[in-house]
Amino acid sequence: MVFFLHVLILLTYLFKRDKYDPVLQWLIKGLFKIMFIRVKREGLENVDKNAVYVVMGNHVSMFDIPLLFGYIPVRFNGIEASEHFKSPLYGFALKRYGNIPINRKNARESFKAILQGAEMVKKGRSIVILPEGTRTLKPRMGEFKKFPFILAKKAGAPILPFGFSGLWKINNKTSWHINPGKVIMKFGEPIPAEVVREKSVEELMELTREKISALISEP
């Protein structure tokens, strides 16, 4: 991971984003192979590579973000907890990549991050935000936060749901151990922008949770 982060930072100085993203994906896929973690993608027919989405899914492991970087078929930036950006190496790599920090303990700062993310979507870049806000302590989804759905409504973009299956057994918040195994990353049909605009935040939370739950093949 340290080697990978150094390479990522170097690439951001040498090339434009559309040039180094394929290299980044290749490196991440190699990293998972080295760890004997097999990754299978399903539902790719539901993803338009040229569309702009607010991407949401379950938050299981410290590998969630690397998996998204390596295997999601659209170009995107992420919204991550501000404490991630305090790490000297990892945090600097996130800044160079263009991810957005969100201070979950400060409502005003959180709202600023949401507005920034919505503006990025309007400019043509997909955003990934995990609605649980933090990794779950159990092998099932936790409660959803409202801010991701406020972002989706302000952005006026479709929500692309995905679900990780098998990842809890490989690594989760209760342990630093990494176990070889298989991860399934399944994409569902997007929630159309019209539905996102019409539904209330609460209705959108419920609908998205149902969509993501249906993509997970484990409790």
pLDDT at 218: 67
Q: Decide if pLDDT at 105 tops 50.
A: yes
Percent of the chain exceeding pLDDT 90 equals 67
Q: Kindly report the backbone phi and psi dihedral angles of residue 128, in degrees, each rounded to the nearest multiple of 5, phi listed first.
A: -105, 125
Cα separation, 39 vs 167, whole angstroms: 10
Cα separation, 31 vs 66, whole angstroms: 10
Cα separation, 117 vs 171, whole angstroms: 28
- Provide mean pLDDT across the span 6-25: 90
Q: Decide if pLDDT at 219 tops 50.
A: no
| Strands 181-187 and 159-165, bridge-based pairing | antiparallel
DSSP 39: E
Query: Which residues are 159's β-sheet partners?
Result: 54, 191
pLDDT at 175: 82
Which tens digits make up the pLDDT trace of 58-73? 999 989 988 998 999 9
pLDDT at 17: 87
| Strands 76-81 and 159-165, bridge-based pairing | unpaired
Which tens digits make up the pLDDT trace of 146-162? 999 999 999 999 999 99
pLDDT at 4: 83
* Angstrom distances, CA of residue 82 to CA of 129, 137, 169: 13, 20, 27
Burial of 216 (0-12, 13-18, 19+ CB in 10 A): buried
Between 160 and 31, name the one with better pLDDT.
Answer: 160
Helix (H, G, I), strand (E, B) or coil at 123: coil
Between 188 and 218, name the one with better pLDDT.
Answer: 188
